[in-house]
Amino acid sequence: MPLQLRPAQDADGAKLGLIGRDAFRDTLSRSFFPPHLYSKSETGDPSLDEAQWRAARTMRRMRDGKPTFVVVDVPEDGSGAEEVVGFAQWELPQATPPASEAVAEVDKDTLPGSLDQEKLIEMYAILEKETKRALGPDGHSKMWYLLLLAVDPTQYRRGIGRMLVQHGLDQAAKAGKDAFLVATPNGRGLYLSVGFCDMEEPFLLGGTPHYSMLWRKPDSTSA
């Protein structure tokens, strides 16, 4: 079925929560939702808690003006509803580093009891330190910054991740900006294939190596 990209809408929130949860299930989510906190789940289902928390965070960030795009699978014959299969959320160039803003955001969301808040804040602190190591103290303020990219795991390798990243890069290029991200091992091959380069040695986040990567807008790479 054909894939189409469009801006995210409020009605997509629940599905984006599920996609984020399922895409990060074997990596970061394991440390945010550890077994010793399962008994603190208000719903009795930590995986539901995670989907709801992710949905609320993504929608709040979208309403705060962070560009958020989804790819939908559209039935060719017009029958049935479109299905959201992946999304990307970006931070526009701004004075506050995305990670330190995220620490401030923690108070804005309802955090489930099954979420290890200290681990979440620790992750944001590592991200801020590594972003500054790669870009300098205010380098992020000149970049489009990819906050989150996730594809429904049942839909991998259909080109959905590439569509989403490329769309963000096209927007960044139009605005005359470079782009930055912190890649998971899963995302790194995709980012290399669209022109991102490694900047620093990898660092550990939730026990997994992560990579600071930079993409230069076309006119600066040809200079």
Ligand X SMILES: CC(C)(COP(=O)(O)OP(=O)(O)OC[C@H]1O[C@@H](n2cnc3c(N)ncnc32)[C@H](O)[C@@H]1OP(=O)(O)O)[C@@H](O)C(=O)NCCC(=O)NCCS
CB of residue 157 to ligand X, shortest distance in Å = 4
Q: Which residues pair with 209 in a beta bridge?
A: 204
- Give the residue at shortest CB distance from ligand X: 161
CB of residue 141 to ligand X, shortest distance in Å = 21
Residue (41 or 51) nearer to ligand X, CB: 51
User: Site residues (CB under 6 A) for ligand X?
Assistant: 23-24, 149-151, 156-162, 181, 183-184, 186-187, 189-190, 193
Q: How far apart are CA 102 and CA 92, in angstroms?
A: 14
CB of residue 208 to ligand X, shortest distance in Å = 9
Contact at 8 Å (CB) between 144 and 88? no
Those residues whose C-beta lies under 8 Å from the C-beta of residue 223, and which sit 6 or more positions away, are none
Residue (93 or 159) nearer to ligand X, CB: 159
Q: How far apart are CA 87 and CA 78, in angstroms?
A: 22
CB of residue 202 to ligand X, shortest distance in Å = 13
Residue (157 or 174) nearer to ligand X, CB: 157
Q: How do beta strands 68-73 and 197-198 pair?
A: unpaired
Q: Which residues pair with 86 in a beta bridge?
A: 71, 151
Residue (25 or 133) nearer to ligand X, CB: 25
Tokens of 48: 């539901």
